Each structure stands twice: as C-alpha cells, then as structure tokens.
Chains A and B, each alone.
Chain A
Amino acid sequence: MKLSLNVRQWIGFFLMLTFSGIAFYLVMSIGTIPLWLLIMLLILAVIQATIQLVWFMDIQQGRRGYKWVTISSGLLIAGLAILYLMLLE
C-alpha cells in the first residue's frame, strides 16, 4: 500500500520533530558526548535530511537522476573541502 504524499509529509514532519527532540534530550541529559552518541546524533541528522530530500523535495519522474547527481557532486566537493581544511589544521 503506497501512502499519499500528504500522509507521507505529515509522518515526515512528526518524525523530524521527534528526532530533533530526542537529540536535544540526549545531549541535555548525558552531557559530554561519547563516541556512540556522536554517531547517533549524526545518524539522526542524516535521517532528517533524507526525509526532507525524499518526501519534501520532489522532482519530475524523468529527472530524478539529475537530483541525485547534483546532490552527490555537491557533497563530494564539500566533503573534500572539509577533509582538506581539517587536515590543514
């Protein structure tokens, strides 16, 4: 059963609020971040970004390839810039 776009957006909205709330709660209650929590916070952020990209940022059916090529090329260059800057430090 495929959910309608409207329902998916409602679900996505509540998921994003929940994940942000969980991340906030974890940081407020645990304090200094161990490695597992750092990874979890980043995973929660990536899930929220993915919800936005898939359920909110739609593109015409025939042009979906362009969307992912644009995002991945942007992320590749951005990732390299972050890596170079951090190595420079």
Chain B
Amino acid sequence: MMAEEKIVFSKEFTEEETADRVLGLWFFIGAEIVLFGCLFGVYLTLNNHTVPGESPGELFELKQTILATFLLLSSSFTCAQSFLGAKKNHYKKSFFFLISTFVLGAAFLGLEAHEFFKYVREGHTFTSSPFMSSFYILVGTHGTHVLAGCTWMVLLLIHLKRERITSYTKAKLEAFSLYWHFVDVVWIFIFTVVYLIGKAGIIY
C-alpha cells in the first residue's frame, strides 16, 4: 500500500487580504531602505579611518566575494521561480526552487561567516578601527537579514509541505519573495561600494 502524504487544510486569503500583506511588506522595505542608507552613510564617513595593515585594499579578497554575489543573485532568481511556480499552482516547482533558494542563501552565509572569521583570526576585530566597526555593522546587518530570510524559508517550506499551494501559502511566499529580492538589492550595492570600490581605491 502506498503511503499517503497528509495535507493539512489551511485558511484562505481573499485577493484584498493578500494585497494588504504585500503592501505592508512594502512599507517595511521603505523603513529598511532608511536603515541601510544610514549604515552606508556611516561606512562612507568612516572608511578612511583605518590603521596600518587594515585598509579595504589590503583586507578584501574579491574572488570569494564575487562567488558570494553569484550565489545570492542565483538565489534571487530561484526565489522568483518558486513564486512563479506557486502562482501557476505547480507545487513541485515551487517547493524545489524554494529549497534551492535556501541552499544558495545558506552557502552565501557560510562564505560571509568564513570571511568574518578570517578577519577576526588575523586580529581585525570590531573595535580595531572605525573602518572595521562600520564594515562589520553594514555587512553584518545584511548577513543578519540573510539569516532571518533563511529561517523564514524553513517555516515557508514547512507550510508548503503541509498545506500545499493555497491562497494563504501563496501570500506568504509573495511577501517572502519581496523581502529576499530586497536583501539582494542591498547586496548589489554592498558589493559595489564596499568591496569593488574599497578594494581598488579611487583616483582623486
């Protein structure tokens, strides 16, 4: 006898309820733009306040960072595909791409943790210079958002597995998808402003 998967019936959302939740997330994104804007401002103000041997040019390893960037950009695409699958009621496609997003997000986190660990082991800690403080705060806040996103994804995967695709799980996936793309947008600017421009330095 084949084992049957147990599907739990979830509540349903009207279109209006889904739209309200998505709108709520947009307001949250507005607040997040302000948060990251302030952190970028702090970084741009303090990135010249370094100690010998601790400048962005000497610290950053761009090959690892471009790999992390590709991972996060790919995770953004798989997340979009997952939501697209949900919109078309393709449970398997949606579930597969959400798991892929989680794996890519976790790999990105692993690379970031490895980078931070390397700096700390070399003695470049949070308090060693104003530049390091602003770097850890900016990149660490972004990493915390990725971690929160990964936790959110685990909960979504449980919901999807139990309830399959309903208007309720679709609304949750849509809200998550917006959040994840926003985290990706922030990373694009961190990669450009902190790593690329920081590593090479500017000719004045």
Contact = CB atoms under 8 A, between A and B. Distances in A.
B41 A24 contact: no
Contacts of A78: 33-34, 36-38, 40-41
A85 B45 contact: yes
Contacts of A38: 197, 202
A73 B202 contact: no
A28 interface: yes
Contact of A33 (B69, B178, B197): B197
B142 interface: no
Nearest to B48: A89
A78 to B, nearest CB: 2
Interface centre among B37, B62, B70, B178 (most CB of A within 10 A): B37
Given A20-B70, A74-B30, A74-B34, A52 B41 contact: no
Interface stretch (B102-110, B121-129, B157-165, B183-191): B183-191
Interface string B66-80: 100110011011001
A55 to B, nearest CB: 8
A20 B202 contact: no
Contacts of B181: 52-53, 56-57
Nearest to A5: B84
B32 interface: yes
A77 B38 CA distance: 9
Interface SS of chain A: helix
Interface residues of A, number: 52
Interface string B148-180: 000000000000000000000000000001100
Interface string B10-44: 00000100010011001101111110111011101
Contacts of B80: 9, 56
A5 B87 CA distance: 11
Contacts of A67: 26
Contact of B201 (A32, A60, A82): A32
Interface in A1-45: 5-6, 9-10, 12-13, 16-17, 20-21, 23-24, 27-28, 30-35, 38, 41-42, 44-45
Given A32-B203, A41-B196, A74 B32 contact: yes
Interface of B: 15, 19, 22-23, 26-27, 29-34, 36-38, 40-42, 44-45, 62, 66, 69-70, 73-74, 76-77, 80-81, 84, 177-178, 181-182, 184-185, 188-189, 191-193, 196-197, 199-203
- Return the 3 tightest CB-CB contacts between A and B, nearest first: A78-B37, A74-B33, A85-B41
Given A17-B73, A20-B66, A35-B203, 12 more contacts: A13-B73, A27-B199, A49-B185, A49-B189, A52-B181, A52-B184, A52-B185, A56-B80, A60-B19, A73-B30, A74-B34, A85-B38
